[in-house]
Amino acid sequence: MRRLLILVLIAAAAWFGWRQYGDLFTKGPQHEAVVENRSDREMTGVRLEVGGRSFVKESLPEGETATFAFRVTRDASFELTWSWGGSGGEGSWSGGYVPRGPMAQRHLMTVDGDGSVIYRAENR
């Protein structure tokens, strides 16, 4: 009886491994998020949240970009928050769309002088 139980467990593990092999060892597409500061002031404490992950950039001077690579396990959207250096004001934006796959995209978020965000996505 004991041998039969061990044989059943080995067979179940082999079947599970065979059925899940592709999901366990292949990675999904890698997306890229690009935050562009096109305002006339520095952004500080930039925080981007997508698909349950958070990315932080301490400061983003005017005219520069921050790029973050990420993967998602389900469709997601963005949450972007920041503070303005010197003036002490804060800004936030939420939106965009990140598909789970199979295509990988570059998501560009451009922050302008009045704190508005222009979002666009392009295939990679």
Tens digits of residue pLDDT in 58-71 = 999 999 999 999 98
112 in a domain, yes or no? yes
pLDDT at 4: 87
114 in a domain, yes or no? yes
In terms of DSSP H, where are the helices of 37-108?
A: none
Total-model pTM: 0.76
How many domains in the chain?
A: 1
Torsion angles phi and psi, residue 75, rounded to 5: -55, 145
pLDDT at 40: 87
pLDDT at 25: 65
CATH code of the domain covering residue 42: 2.60.40.2890
pLDDT at 22: 62
Does pLDDT of 26 surpass 90? Answer: no
Comparing C-alpha atoms, which of 44, 31, 43, 27 is closest to residue 78? 31
56 in a domain, yes or no? yes
Q: Which residue range is the domain that position 68 belongs to?
A: 27-123
117 in a domain, yes or no? yes
**For 29, how many CA atoms within 13 A lie in the half-sphere containing its CB?**
15
